[in-house]
Amino acid sequence: MKLSSLIVALMTGLLVAIATPAAAGTITVHDVAGRDVTLEAPVKRILLGEGRQLVALALLHPHPASLLAAWSADMRRQDERLYDLYRAKFPLLDRVPFISRGSPDTFSVEQALAAAPDVAILSGGYGPSRRSDDVVHKLEAAGIPVVFIDFVEDPLTNTVPSMRILGRLLGEEARAEQFIAFYQSHMDRITKRLAEAKPPLPNVLMHAHAGHMECCNSPGRVTIGAFIDIAGGHNIAVDVLKQPAGRPSLDETMARGQLSLEYVLARDPDVYVGTGGLHLQALGGLVMGPGVDPATSREDLAKVVSKPGLDGLRAVRTGRVHGIWHLFNNVPFNFLAVEVMAKWFHPDLFKDVDPDESLRELNSRFLPVPLVGTFWISLDPKPAERGR
């Protein structure tokens, strides 16, 4: 090519680039609510409808607090220790305004608009959900794109696409794909081995927020209950919870609600799994999470299953009593819960699986604020016991 022709070609390309700057930064994402959303990326100012999704942002971006225009206070309210760890790592969080006290009914549209975000990332749970039409319409009418992600309602379906969406929004696609490959390799190891071995499925009682209320609040196939089936267990709640429990958009097999003690005794499950967290510390429940010593969690778990009725279950008599961190239902690394449960349900089949090592790799490769504490526990100390 002649030099003059090369110069003309370069100048033409430069003029085109200058003439269409918006198009060069415009992307369209297909969110988990099935909506196509077009916006400028990478985004610089995010409204986070659920504060705990900060953990997902931190997996992908080195300075997630610098991206926040506003967020919800649910992390501070539900897991203050985790919140303090992130504040210590990212002091800029103290300057980010809260637009909610951590519940959908306290979300302030006016404060959200005043924060002038580039995008509102919503996910349900403790913030506006895909059913919050009024909030979505007001934000969009003000020119704020709304994108839905989800690690709670249908984590098995939505975790990977949610991380891919965040990667595109942040301009961190490569980092997102690295995490997705890591995540999928751990999930595939469990699902493929179960598909090949086809072991009998133990009956499992999952006691949500164990020790806080009378037996037994339990998820069906939603939230953390979704991990029982994929880990090779049968959740006894799905056989009786046939109403959506206030969530009309969900299939009735995904219900969650209260199981009667009579039903639990009649089913006499093979395995008991209680969920716990720091939010239960003042409520006399199963305390687990960052900074919690395993002895504390084990003592709490023993108290829960010593209550009349639960103390006579087959799972208690045979030492198959376990506890797991409830916040696994709201983070992208939920594969840890699947690994741990698979090991509890089928210890011989998964004797080579080491959730502790998986957590160490997660901490070293992806988490800027390492998870250190008790995230799974057993009364029988033989199974996987503590995450570090």
pLDDT tens per residue, range 131-154: 567 888 999 999 999 999 999 888
Q: How many CA atoms lie within 13 A of 216 on its CB side?
A: 30
Q: What is the pLDDT of residue 204?
A: 98
Domains 17-171 and 200-378 in one fold:
yes
Residue 2 has pLDDT above 70, yes or no: no
Contact 30, 56 (CB under 8 A): no
Compute CA distances 263 → 149, 236, 243, 259, 307, whole Å: 35, 9, 16, 7, 16
Task: Determine the Cα–Cα distance for residues 67 and 69; give it in Å rounded to an integer.
Answer: 7
Task: Determine the Cα–Cα distance for residues 365 and 358; give it in Å rounded to an integer.
Answer: 11
Residue 231 has pLDDT above 60, yes or no: yes
Task: Determine the Cα–Cα distance for residues 260 and 132; give it in Å rounded to an integer.
Answer: 32
- Tell me whether strands 256-258 and 217-219 are parallel, antiparallel or unpaired: antiparallel
Residues constituting the chain: 388
- Preceding omega of 216 cis (within 30 degrees of 0): yes
Our separate counts of H helices and E strands in the chain read 15, 16
Residue 99's Cα: distance from chain center in Å? 21
Residue 16 has pLDDT above 90, yes or no: no
Task: Determine the Cα–Cα distance for residues 377 and 157; give it in Å rounded to an integer.
Answer: 27
Amino acid identity at 110: E
Kindly provide the residue ranges of all beta strands, DSSP E only, lying in 68-172, ordered along the sequence: 68-72, 98-100, 119-122, 146-148
Task: Determine the Cα–Cα distance for residues 360 and 270; give it in Å rounded to an integer.
Answer: 30
User: Around Cβ 111, how many Cβ atoms within 10 Å?
Assistant: 14
The residue ranges of every structural domain in the chain are 17-171, 200-378
Helix/strand/coil (H, E, C) string of 190-234?
HHHHHHHHCCCCCEEEEECCCCCCCCCEEECCCHHHHHHHHCCCE
Out of 3.30.429.10, 3.40.50.720, 3.40.50.1980, 3.30.43.10, the CATH code matching 200-378 is 3.40.50.1980
64: pLDDT confidence band, cut at 50, 70 and 90? very high
Query: Token pair for residue 182?
Result: 């890591």
257: pLDDT confidence band, cut at 50, 70 and 90? confident
Out of 1.20.1600.10, 3.40.50.1820, 3.30.70.260, 3.40.50.1980, the CATH code matching 17-171 is 3.40.50.1980
Residue 23 has pLDDT above 50, yes or no: no
Q: What is the pLDDT of residue 285?
A: 95
Task: Determine the Cα–Cα distance for residues 129 and 120; give it in Å rounded to an integer.
Answer: 12
Q: What is the pLDDT of residue 129?
A: 55
Output b/e per residue, 43-73; b: 16+ Cβ within 10 A.
beebbbbbbbbbbbbbbbbeebbebbbbbbb
128: pLDDT confidence band, cut at 50, 70 and 90? low
Q: Is 211 left (phi over 0), alpha (psi -120 to 50) or beta?
A: left
- Residue 273 is given by DSSP the state E
Mean pLDDT for 341-369 is 98
pTM score, whole prediction:
0.88
Which residue's entry shows tokens 């198959």?
Answer: 320
Q: What is the pLDDT of residue 71?
A: 96
Q: What is the pLDDT of residue 381?
A: 53
